[in-house]
């Protein structure tokens, strides 16, 4: 048996580098003790590399390895790490160990192969777009190193075109496997970090300070795409939940009302169709414009009587839905609802008194609303992220003392005043506005766009939206939050929505991410099934496996055929004519062997077709002359004669 060639120092270093790159994103996922173990091993490897790497006694390395492995076992035993983390760490450690003991090329090739698996583990945790790009680049790098190992003669100068071609060959397989490999309804191994690290977002409770915390984040809440013309930014009130119950501090959903399903409604007004991709789905409601009339989505849910769309269970991750909105038809307010919309808790005496005063002074509810809005506009109310702490009677304190607040303060106190003044009112939480991505033609709605406003009941009009924030800071509605607050507010959004080419670039990048989410990540079992059914096939797993196997075999066959197909070289005219003559002979059962020379063929053909002997001899003589004689007096004339001879050859 031949021994494999020794591994060079350069190649050894590259193996380490690719391993480090493959492990790097795990810094976000793995617990630090496991990371430390991997770090020690990688460090040892590079220490060995830095020393004259071949001369180093193996005993020292072995000691390090022994200690590290024991440490890992101890760690896994003592620390209660999630099983999947330990499994990933073990794979990393195994790859490190293979790298450490690599002395021959074949060891190194195995280490390279293991590296692909390490890369794969990244996707067990999360599959964002950037990670896809990163892992692809790492995989190409690993492939390159592997090819260098596989072609020791080529040295470090392996042509990029070769790697590119190999990747290109693999592409159809990747696509076929992606589209057709049966996806599981529920992943066997689910590392659902999304549910654990619940990102801040609009919640079903509104208390002073809760929204001003949310708007600190520039994270994307959802993306909205309109199928028709896009409505202006100021009309984009994305309704999430209606909050009815006020305990003096916080607004909450009414547990009773949310249970009831709204009967289907017919709307006669103008409809708006749009598609929303909701990011972090750790809540149980959707965001809709105006009154949601119809929603199409995979998850199960219902329209509550307050026109919220509620889900049965919080979704696993991102969800996507198509919605139609329009104006609500006229309705009546029943007594129970009226009582709920007028209910006030104990406390806040001054605000209650003010409401009662308005109720006495103005007969029309519209006038009472105007009074409140005028109060916000006329008095020195400030719109700020840092309103300061409020005590036991937050509405009173805000209205008559601090007069500094964020949208939740305005919405909350406005609804409180309206209820005190006898106008049925409720708080609505959701988002306002958004940033229009002109590259991908959709709105990006971020957490910073979180908003709270009010809805009041007007007889003859129904529930009507009133945004008290607009009275204080009209720019908030018109142009977005980043325009209202001073530049030093420390809002992440103010960096994200900075002007200029950076913003354009951001849009392009976000569009890529959006497409990735839409086409790659949301491609699940359901979509697979749909795809097969669109092709007129059964959507079950058995059919899918069959289709996949046939498509894959087809690709392999096509590839082999392409590779093994005799290359149609560039043939000279005499070669083409000669081929024609050979084909003619072949039809007579005289197939030319590939190694058979023209003269030999002529001898064989002449013997088989004695009546055409002269013709065959003529053709052969002309062909030999044209092809093998370097000085031909009149090539064109010969060629014409040859052509004529071949064309007239009809045995």
Partner 1 sequence: MNQPTHNTFLQANQQVNGILAILGQHLLGKPEVIRLSLAGLLARGHLLLEDVPGVGKTTLAHALATTLGLHYQRVQFTSDLLPADLIGVSVYLRDTGRFEFHRGPLFSQVLLADEINRASPKTQSALLEAMAERQVTHDGETHTLPDPFFVIATQNPQSQIGTHALPESQLDRFMMRLSIGYPDAQAEKALYLGGANTKATTAHLSATDVFALQQLVDDVQVSEALAAYVLALVAATREPRRFLHGLSPRGGLALIQAGKAWAFLEGRHFVIPEDIQKIFTAVAGHRLMPGSDLDTCAPVMLQLLQEVAIP
Binding residues for partner 1, per CB under 8 A? 569, 593-600, 624-625, 627-631
Residue 161 C-beta: closest distance to partner 1, Å: 23
CA distance 60 to 48: 10
Closest of 329, 351, 337 to residue 426, by C-alpha:
337
Residue 598 C-beta: closest distance to partner 1, Å: 7
Please name the residues in contact with 589: beta carbons below 8 A apart, sequence gap of 6 or more: 608
Q: Which is nearer to partner 1, 161 or 567 (CB)?
A: 567
Closest of 275, 281, 284, 92 to residue 204, by C-alpha:
284
Q: Which is nearer to partner 1, 52 or 593 (CB)?
A: 593
Residue 153 C-beta: closest distance to partner 1, Å: 13
Residue 569 C-beta: closest distance to partner 1, Å: 8
Residue 106 C-beta: closest distance to partner 1, Å: 19
Q: Which is nearer to partner 1, 313 or 593 (CB)?
A: 593
Tokens of 440: 């991908």
Q: Which is nearer to partner 1, 588 or 627 (CB)?
A: 627
Residue 146 C-beta: closest distance to partner 1, Å: 22
DSSP 152-197: GGGTT---HHHHHHHHHHHHHHHHHHHHHSPPPSS-SS---HHHHS
DSSP 591: P
Q: Which is nearer to partner 1, 554 or 597 (CB)?
A: 597
Edge-to-edge strands of the sheet including 220-226? Answer: 291-296, 319-326, 272-278, 220-226, 442-446, 435-437
Residue 566 C-beta: closest distance to partner 1, Å: 9
DSSP 402: I
Q: Which is nearer to partner 1, 374 or 572 (CB)?
A: 572
Q: Is the distance from CB of 239 to CB of 307 less than 8 angstroms?
A: yes
Helix (H, G, I), strand (E, B) or coil at 615: helix
CA distance 277 to 171: 28
Q: Which is nearer to partner 1, 2 or 332 (CB)?
A: 2
334 C-beta neighbours (distance < 10 Å), count: 9
Strands (E), 213-339: 220-226, 237-243, 245-246, 251-252, 272-278, 288-289, 291-296, 301-303, 309-311, 319-326
Residue 624 C-beta: closest distance to partner 1, Å: 5
**Residues making up the chain, counted from first to last:** 651
Q: Which is nearer to partner 1, 276 or 582 (CB)?
A: 582
Residue 571 C-beta: closest distance to partner 1, Å: 10
Q: Which is nearer to partner 1, 473 or 646 (CB)?
A: 646
């Amino acid at each position: 048996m031949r021994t494999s060639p020794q591994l060079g120092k350069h190649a050894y270093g590259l193996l380490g580098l690719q391993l480090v790159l493959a492990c790097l994103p795990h810094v976000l996922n793995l617990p630090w003790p496991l990371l430390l173990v991997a770090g020690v091993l990688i460090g040892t490897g590079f220490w060995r590399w830095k020393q004259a790497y071949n001369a180093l006694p193996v005993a020292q390395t072995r000691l390090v390895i022994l200690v590290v492995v024991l440490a890992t076992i101890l760690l896994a035993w003592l620390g209660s790490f999630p099983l999947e983390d330990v499994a990933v760490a073990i794979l990393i450690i195994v790859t490190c160990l293979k790298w450490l003991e690599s002395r021959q090329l074949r060891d190194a090739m195995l280490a390279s192969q293991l590296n692909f698996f390490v890369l794969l583990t990244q996707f067990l945790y999360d599959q964002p777009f950037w990670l896809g790009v990163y892992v692809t680049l790492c995989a190409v790098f690993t492939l390159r190193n592997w090819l260098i190992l596989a072609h020791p003669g080529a040295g470090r100068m392996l042509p990029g075109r070769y790697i590119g071609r190999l990747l290109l060959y693999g592409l159809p397989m990747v696509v076929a496997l992606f589209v057709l490999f049966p996806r599981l309804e529920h992943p066997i191994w689910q590392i659902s970090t999304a549910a654990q690290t619940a990102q801040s977002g609009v919640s079903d409770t509104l208390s002073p300070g809760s929204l001003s915390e949310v708007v600190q984040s520039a994270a994307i809440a959802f993306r909205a795409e309109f199928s028709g013309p896009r409505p202006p930014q100021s009309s984009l009130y994305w309704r999430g939940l209606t909050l009815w119950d006020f305990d003096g501090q916080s607004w909450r959903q009414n547990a009773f009302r949310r249970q009831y399903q709204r009967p289907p409604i017919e709307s006669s007004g103008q409809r708006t169709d749009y598609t929303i991709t909701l990011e972090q789905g750790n809540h149980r409601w959707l965001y809709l414009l105006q009154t949601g009339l119809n929603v199409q989505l995979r998850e199960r849910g219902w329209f509550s009587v307050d026109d919220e769309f509620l889900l049965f269970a919080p979704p696993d991750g991102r969800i996507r839905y198509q919605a139609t909105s329009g104006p609500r038809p006229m309705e009546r307010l029943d007594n129970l609802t009226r009582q709920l919309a007028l209910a006030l808790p104990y406390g806040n005496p001054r605000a209650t008194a003010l409401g009662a005063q308005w109720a006495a002074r103005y007969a029309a509810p519209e006038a009472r609303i105007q009074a409140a809005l005028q109060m916000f506009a006329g008095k020195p109310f400030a719109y700020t992220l840092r309103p300061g702490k409020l005590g036991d009677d937050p509405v009173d304190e805000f209205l008559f003392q601090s007069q500094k607040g964020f949208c939740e303060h305005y919405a909350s106190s406005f609804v409180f005043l309206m209820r005190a003044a006898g106008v049925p009112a409720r708080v609505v939480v959701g988002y306002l506005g958004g940033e229009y991505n002109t590259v991908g033609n959709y709105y990006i709605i971020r957490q910073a766009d979180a908003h709270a406003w009010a809805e009041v009941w007007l007889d003859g009009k129904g529930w009507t939206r009133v945004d008290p924030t607009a009275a204080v800071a009209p720019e908030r509605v018109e142009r977005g939050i980043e325009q209202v607050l001073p530049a030093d507010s420390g809002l992440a959004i103010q960096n994200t929505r900075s002007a200029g080419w950076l913003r354009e670039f951001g849009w392009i990048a976000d569009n890529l991410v959006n497409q990735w989410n839409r086409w790659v990540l949301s491609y699940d079992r359901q979509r697979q099934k749909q795809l097969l059914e669109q092709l007129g096939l059964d959507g079950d797993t058995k059919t899918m496996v069959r289709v996949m196997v046939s498509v894959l075999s087809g690709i392999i066959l096509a590839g082999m055929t392409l590779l093994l197909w005799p290359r149609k070289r560039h043939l000279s005219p005499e070669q083409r004519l000669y081929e024609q003559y050979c084909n003619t002979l072949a039809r007579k059962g005289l197939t030319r062997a590939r190694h058979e020379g023209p003269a030999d063929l002529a001898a064989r053909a002449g013997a088989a077709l004695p009546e055409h002997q002269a013709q065959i001899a003529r053709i052969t003589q002309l062909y030999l002359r044209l092809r093998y004689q370097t000085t031909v007096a009149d090539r064109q004339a010969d060629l014409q004669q040859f052509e004529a001879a071949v064309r007239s050859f009809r045995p």
